Amino acid sequence: MKLNLIRLRESIKDSNITIEKHPTEDLFIYGYFKHPLSKTKSIWNEYSIMCRGLILNSEGEIIERAFDKFWTFRNHITGNLISLSENRIVKLPDSAPKIYEKLDGTMGVLYWVKDIPYIATQRSFSSLKAIKASEIIQRKYLQETLKLDRQFSYIFEVIYPEASLVVNYGEEEDLVLIGVIDKETGMSVQNISELGFRTKKDLTDEFKNFTNFNEIEEANINNLEGVVLEYNNSLRIKIKFPWYKEIHKELQSVINAEYQMIESINKLRKYYGYKENPLSTTLIMEAIKNGKKQEDFVNELNIDQIDRGAIKWVCRQWNNHEETNKSVSELFNQSLEYGNTPDDRIWKWKSRYLDKYYD
């Protein structure tokens, strides 16, 4: 299937849709990112709802596609009419939905480069999460991926400690297959349990006696983000449990506050003419010479640097020096990694926030 690139780009030009080119291949990923301080409204249309991990080539051909944007349940209006987040109103199908666990990891889309499987996150080929997910699928599921029918796209939830959000999965590192999509039609494949991957848990029987969505929401199961309702027509609806929404709201408040602080500090630096000591390979070499560990160096990065991809850059430079005992002089803000990984701000958030702030 081929999309009209002119119409696609016209429809998303004033939206929060991002585009990232693959570092080496003729691939472009279209994702969604709204900066915490942004006041722009999301624009959803027939094109933008596809842009949550949509991978195209330069001709507009769909290489891989993820789930269309779907929304969170708010309340019942009347009968089978419900309201969702972002003021969406939906009429429910007459058929009963399947109910699955909603995992609190990172969504990943399987794609291929020269028959080698990789995972892209919702808006990036090269984020820390994408790199980690690609390492997991190549290490744990290489043979299973080689057997897959490539007329379909395969959607995973990526779980590992460094990217933990709210739900506690311990030290678990895994990929959970949460969906298979027909690339041509965008419709979901129903039976995905026989492909050799761990799959999302079917909770339909556990909720069979519930008469409405409010009752499901009130189940409020601890350490479970919520559930996803899936209908035969590929309609998906999220229900998030109250405990999760409360904790996530607090985390988002911390992230928003730090972004606001960074913005204010940058304005003050500019006003007072402060000169920065830019992140560079020179600083890394000094740290190595003084016996500092890579993890300790990374933990001292500020959130602005992390948000712009500094962790990946530091790891590359550090590992390159340890392997070759040489270093190429480079400033982080002139590197390939600079500025392209907005969701890296979540990386190890508990150690960055909870271990550094006190009563």
pLDDT (0 to 100) of residue 310? 86
Contacts of 76 (CB under 8 A, 6+ apart): 82, 83, 212, 213, 214
Checking DSSP bridges between strand 174-182 and strand 81-84, what pairing results, if any? Answer: unpaired
pLDDT (0 to 100) of residue 162? 82
Q: What is the CA radius of gyration of the chain?
A: 22
The span from the CA of 348 to the CA of 223, in Å, is 18
Contacts of 52 (CB under 8 A, 6+ apart): 31, 32, 66, 67, 68, 69, 107, 122
User: Are the CB atoms for 113 and 25 separated by under 8 Å?
Assistant: yes
State whether residue 326 is helix, strand or coil. Answer: coil
* β-pair partners for 101: 227
The span from the CA of 61 to the CA of 193, in Å, is 28
Per-residue burial over 331-353, b if 16 or more Cβ lie within 10 Å, else e, is ebbebebbebbbbbbbbbbeebe
> For 243, what's the count of Cα atoms within 13 Å in the CB-facing half-sphere?
11
One-letter amino acid for residue 176 of the chain:
V
The span from the CA of 44 to the CA of 328, in Å, is 44
pLDDT (0 to 100) of residue 342? 53
pLDDT (0 to 100) of residue 311? 85
Contacts of 159 (CB under 8 A, 6+ apart): 103, 105, 106, 169, 172, 173, 174, 175, 176
Here the tokens at position 86 are 């972002």
The span from the CA of 70 to the CA of 181, in Å, is 15
Q: How far is CA 348 from CA 129, 172, 204, 249, 300, in A?
A: 11, 14, 33, 18, 12
pLDDT tens over the chain, length 359 residues: 899 999 999 988 888 898 999 989 999 999 998 777 777 778 899 999 999 999 999 999 999 999 999 999 999 999 899 999 999 999 999 999 999 999 999 999 999 999 999 999 999 998 888 989 999 999 999 999 999 999 999 999 999 988 888 999 999 999 999 999 999 999 999 889 889 999 999 999 999 999 899 999 999 999 999 999 999 999 999 999 999 999 999 998 988 887 888 889 889 989 999 877 789 998 999 999 899 999 899 888 877 787 777 888 898 889 888 888 776 788 888 776 676 455 666 777 787 778 765 55
User: Are the CB atoms for 121 and 129 separated by under 8 Å?
Assistant: yes
One-letter amino acid for residue 195 of the chain:
L
Contacts of 57 (CB under 8 A, 6+ apart): 26, 27, 28, 63
Q: Give the orientation angle of helix 128-140 with respect to helix 310-324, to 10 degrees.
A: 60
Here the tokens at position 197 are 């991957």
pLDDT (0 to 100) of residue 359? 52
